Amino acid sequence: MRNLENIKKVVIKVGTSTLTYANGNLNLVKMENIVRQISDLHNRGLEVILVTSGAIGTGASALGYKERPKTIPEKQACAAVGQVTLIHMYQKLFSEYNKVSAQILMTREDIRDRKRYLNGRNTFFTLLDIGAIPIVNENDALVVDEIKFGDNDSLSAMVSSFVDADLLIILSDIDGLYDSNPKENKDAKIIDYVETITKEIEGYAGGAGSKLGTGGMITKLHAAKICCSSGVSMIICNGASNDSIIRAVNGENVGTYFQGKVKPMKGRQHWLAYEAAPKASIIVDLGAEKALKNHKSLLPKGIVSIEGKFDEGDVVSILGVDGNRIGHGISSYNSKDLSSIIGVETKKIEEILGYKHYDEIIHINNMVIF
């Protein structure tokens, strides 16, 4: 059963393949349709946020590229050109429906850094309070590769969790998640409802994606995981028809519906799990792995090695000896000092370092285990 009766805040994600023709030019009819449906939802009293792709494609076509550019500087230049066209067109269309739109260009850093995270939420909440429709894209013109969201499926899921949305609708060029590749198997069936993302469901995402956008079905499933764990339900449906958003919000059986968890991860836990994006790792032995999974803090004794540099208070990945990701946590010690106390008993910390902040390297309260 799709549970959409009490939704108040909806995020709509539109991909490049829905928004543009194969030559990169904007498909104005589709764009107008999307804006009209969003404006209608807004008229109903819903809060709506639009996450849109299409900057690079639109810029490339405006600059006369025959195909999508491959180098990063060219992509960034195209994004800078295309984003203006994109937002100009949205603003023009939204104003026809008497709506005020606002542009927000995000980077991963805005979510990774706790202060910026809280500040960004306030910006969104204020815009929604005053009745504006935020239009979000990644800040492609400036952001460097290693801190990119990379695809707008992930971005839209992060935004949905960030603003405590009730529902994310991802408009795609396929009808939803199939149980096998519909291009190869004519008996492939669309999955209507997903309660939990099991291994079986993840297996379905393998071959059924579109090749046009950045993200295929795999990135959409990743987006679903982010959403569901933070209590946001998600629908993947085809953006080709001119009423798919309205039908999805009305609870009709369009596309695939993923049920958000009734008991979602709390804000800080979710931030640690999905938004903080650690750059360094602590590798722990089997005994520590077991203890962590039994809700114990991480002590120096269970640490085998560390990878990368970090400061006290930074988020790190916790890996098992075979490289499996056990969780994320906030380290109480910097990597330099921690490297001197690897494997030692807690009582030796002060003797070795000349100080002791805590017995725990990562306290259970500062940790999320997957």
Q: Which residue, 20 or 256, is less far from ligand GLU as judged by CB?
A: 20
Q: Where are the alpha helices (DSSP H) in 45-141?
A: 55-62, 72-96, 109-112, 114-129
Q: How far is the CB of 279 from ligand GLU (least distance, A)?
A: 22
Q: Is 220 annotated as a binding residue?
A: yes
Q: Is residue 213 close enough to count as binding ligand GLU by CB under 6 A?
A: yes
Q: Is residue 157 close enough to count as binding ligand GLU by CB under 6 A?
A: no
Chosen residue from 39, 152, 161, 230 binding ligand GLU by CB under 6 A: 152
Q: Which residue, 52 or 259, is less far from ligand GLU as judged by CB?
A: 52
Q: Is 283 annotated as a binding residue?
A: no
Residues in binding contact with ligand GLU, number by CB under 6 A:
16
Closest CA to 298 of 310, 316, 311, 280: 316
Q: Is residue 214 close enough to count as binding ligand GLU by CB under 6 A?
A: yes
Greatest CA span in the chain, whole angstroms?
A: 71
E strands in the chain: 9-14, 47-52, 101-106, 133-138, 167-172, 193-194, 233-238, 256-258, 280-284, 303-307, 315-319, 325-330, 367-369
Q: Provide the 10 A C-beta neighbour count for residue 252.
A: 14
DSSP category for residue 131: T
Chosen residue from 39, 102, 110, 138 binding ligand GLU by CB under 6 A: 138
Q: Is 173 annotated as a binding residue?
A: yes
Q: Which residue, 177 or 318, is less far from ligand GLU as judged by CB?
A: 177
Q: Is residue 360 close enough to count as binding ligand GLU by CB under 6 A?
A: no
CA 357-358-363 angle, 5° bins:
130
**How far apart, in whole angstroms, are the C-alpha atoms of residue 220 and residue 213?**
11
Q: How far is the CB of 31 from ligand GLU (least distance, A)?
A: 14
Q: Which residues of 104-139 are buried (b: 16+ CB within 10 A; e: fewer)?
A: bbbbbebbbeeeebeebeeebeebbeeebbbbbbbb
Which residue stretch of 62-70, 157-165, 208-216, 300-308 sits at the interface with ligand GLU (rule: CB under 6 A)?
208-216
Q: Which residue, 50 or 303, is less far from ligand GLU as judged by CB?
A: 50
Q: Is residue 39 close enough to count as binding ligand GLU by CB under 6 A?
A: no
Q: Is residue 215 close enough to count as binding ligand GLU by CB under 6 A?
A: yes
Where along the sequence are the contacts to ligand GLU (CB under 6 A)? Answer: 15-16, 53-57, 79, 137-138, 140, 151-152, 213-215
- Specify binding-site residues for substrate: 53, 140, 152
